[in-house]
Structures are given as structure tokens and as C-alpha cells.
Amino acid sequence: MKNFTLLLTGLFVLLLGGCIQDKCEQSVTYITLLPEYISFDELRNTRAKSEAARELENPGKMYFYNDFIFISELNEGIHIIDNSNPSAPQRVSFISVPGNRDIAVKGNMLYADSYVDLWVIDISDPTSVSQVGREKDVFPYDNWHNGFVGDPALGIVRNWHEEEVTEVVACNVSFPNRGGVFFATVDLAANAVNDFGAPSSEGNFTNATSPGLGGSLARFTIIGENLYAVTDEELIHFGLNNPSNPSQNGRFDVGFGIETIFPYKDHLFIGSQQGMFIYNISDPASPTFVSEFVHARNCDPVAVEGDRAYVTLRTGNGCPGSQNLLHVINISNMANPSLITSYNFENPHGLGIRNKTLFICDGDAGLKIFDATSDWGLLDNQLEHYQNIQATDVIPLPNDILLMIGADGFYQYDYSDLNNISLLSKIEVKR
């Protein structure tokens, strides 16, 4: 009897083992991100070309130069807009530049990133541009998103798309490991406009050799014969003595989480997720670290005027931290910047300052304009609040015209009379 019981027990274990090995499976359905690639051969065989003007669909950075506005269509190219009449801007053409996000212009040359490369484009004729140069492998690969990593052997990830996947796995597997986070949905546009400007110069815009102006979210800026660009960790210097063939003269470690660059006189103010870095560029090819203003980890564009730096911190869309603030910083001693005061905002993005008039893009809370003559009581000195719009970045021009870009369009305001700021025009995003 004892032997019979052992035999039955052994058979049960064998049957159970067979079930675990052959039968115990489960069907798991989940949402994953899959990469879409552009091969290096395809990228290197692509050149900038002029196309018919198109509508804005997913606008990113903007740049002003010599009565023209350049607006990046994220990852696709650049809109050229004739702004000789700000009340009636006219779309001129579109330049196809795959992987574009940042723009800078000097003379007749437009400098644009194309994924990992820097393109040089002759815009003498805005309706028929020509690519005259390409610097390869300047910028780092961006093959990562939300914990998922693309295969560099297949090229550069041009986009990520959601896909529902059903997979049969063993019972003891709760969900498949795909090198990232298991999730139900993801906002693919989360970092679309992050996500990177600054007035490039205080020059004469009628001078064909002067650079133009960028917004506070820019990663490119031009000063004299020098183009500066920031990556997530580095500051890169290019000499522009030969405008069609920029020379990469140096790469400088800055930190991590680098986001924006803003030039002011002989200094660069670099915004990062951990603080604001100040670099001296008296020797343009050899930027030297001066100081750092540390703040809580958040997204961080910077704008500067006189002895004041204005820094916005925001949450959401990939930005760490929990604060939505404006910092007012005393930079009269560049070696020792100090916080004067802070103000709460809804979700501040880009900003601009000109002649003590401060422009804050407060995300979905709209555009807010303040008299910043005094550091104190700023919120009580609000001049205007444009609501029911999405505000991302601004460029205040010397002729008292404000350029503003947002997810819903490109706006221009006349602020020559601060008691009567008025909307001049809007180019809407295609719905």
C-alpha cells in the first residue's frame, strides 16, 4: 500500500510538472513603444530642399532674422515666413530638414540640426535654398524614450509609436521585459517642445552679416563669428570665419541635463535641470566656467538683462521636480549669483525680458506680461494676461514687437504702449 501511495504521488508530480512546462501559460496584452528608423545612408543622402509653403502642424523653436521668421516643424523642417509686415505675415516656403529642432542664422547661412548632423543652408533665395555644408556626427544619438532604447545598428530613431502587443508567456511572468517600463499609454508629444534658445545678439538686424534672435528655449546661439550649441552634457563651439564651412573648435563638458543657452554680452548663461551655469567667452573659442546657481531639479530656461537673470522652473513633460516658479537672480557679481526672490506660476516655459518688461509663457495658462522695474511685487505689476492660449516661448524684438510660439500657433503683439498691448497677427496651427 505504501508503495502504491508513492507511485500515485510520483505520477501527480510528473503530471503537475508537465502542466507547468507545457500547459501553464498566460496571454498578456500590453502597450509598448516601437522605434521607426532612418538609416545613416538615407540621412547622409538627404539634402535640404525648398518646398511650397505649408501650414504649421507641430511647431517648435522659432528664430528672427532680417524681417524673416524661421519656425521649426518638429523633426521635419523649417517654415520661412516673411514678416516685413507683422500685422500680415506671409508664409514663403518650407525647407525639408529631417530631425530638425534648432535653428540659427547669420548672413545668408542657416545652421540647423538634422538628428546627429549640423547642416549649413544658403538662404540667399528663401524660395530656392541650397545646402552648402554638413558636419557629421556633431550631436549625440537620441535613441532613447521612456526607458526604451533603439538599436543603433539600424540607424537613428526618427519616431516612436505605440503598438498593442499580445504575447503568450509563462504563468510566473507578470509582464514581458522589453527594456523599458510596462505601461498602458504614453504621451509621445511630451518632449516635443522642450525642450530647448535665447536672443542671439543685440546686433543691427538690417546688417546682412549680423545674426538674428532666438527664443529662450534655444540650444543654438551665434555671437560674432561664433556658433555655440549645447547637448545634454556639452557646450560645442564652431568658428564661422568661413560661414559655409563651420569649424568645430572644441567641446566642453558642462554637466548633465543641459537644456538651453542664452548669450549676454561676453557671457553665456546655460540652463540645466540642476541649475544655471555662467561661462565667460572673452576668448570665444575657449569658454571658461565662472559660476553656478543651483536650484531644485526642473526644466530651466534663462533670460538676462542688466544685472538680473530670470529663470523659470516647471514640472511635467519629462521635467523632474515639483516646482513651478520664476527665480529672480542677482548677477551683479557673476562669480557669486544670488537669489533675490521667487514667484509661483502655473507651468512656466520660455520667457523674455526687454527694457524691464518681462514676458512669461505660462503654458496652458497663457502669456503673462509684467513690469519688472522692481524685483518685488512682480505679480501685482501684471500688465496683461492673454488666456485661452498655449504659450511656449517668446522673442521680444527691439522694435517693440513680441513674437510668441505655442502649440496652437504663432502670435505677434505690439507692446510699444504698455498700457495698450495689442495682438497684431496669428498664424494658426492646422487642425
pTM value is 0.83
Asked if pLDDT for residue 135 goes beyond 80, the answer is yes
* Separation of alpha carbons 101 and 62, rounded Å: 9
- pLDDT for 144 equals 64
Using DSSP, state whether 16 is helix, strand or coil.
Answer: helix
Q: Tens of pLDDT along 376-393?
A: 999 999 999 999 999 999
* Separation of alpha carbons 361 and 327, rounded Å: 14
Q: What's the CATH number of domain 42-139+191-428, 1.10.287.110, 2.130.10.10, 3.40.1190.20, 3.40.30.10?
A: 2.130.10.10
**Helical spans, DSSP H, in 268-331:** none
* Separation of alpha carbons 327 and 301, rounded Å: 11
- pLDDT for 268 equals 98
**Helical spans, DSSP H, in 94-187:** none
Q: How confident is the model at residue 15 (pLDDT cuts 50, 70, 90)?
A: very low
**Mean pLDDT of the region 69-82:** 97
Q: Distance of CA 20 to CAs 13, 16, 25, 66, 67, Å?
A: 10, 6, 8, 72, 72
Beta strands in 136-246 (DSSP E): 144-145, 148-149, 156-170, 213-214, 220-223, 226-230, 234-239
* Separation of alpha carbons 264 and 220, rounded Å: 14
Lowest-confidence pick of 6-15, 82-91, 161-170, 338-347: 6-15
Q: Tens of pLDDT along 367-378?
A: 999 999 999 999
- pLDDT for 318 equals 63
Q: Does 250 or 8 have the greater pLDDT score?
A: 250
Query: By percentage, how much of the chain surpasses pLDDT 70?
Result: 82
Q: CB count, 10 Å around CB of 419?
A: 6
* Separation of alpha carbons 9 and 6, rounded Å: 5
Q: How confident is the model at residue 295 (pLDDT cuts 50, 70, 90)?
A: confident
Name the residue ranges covered by the structural domains of the chain.
Answer: 42-139+191-428
* Separation of alpha carbons 267 and 158, rounded Å: 34
* Separation of alpha carbons 93 and 53, rounded Å: 4
Beta strands in 295-431 (DSSP E): 302-305, 308-313, 325-330, 338-344, 351-354, 357-361, 367-371, 382-386, 393-396, 401-406, 409-414, 422-428
**Mean pLDDT of the region 122-140:** 95
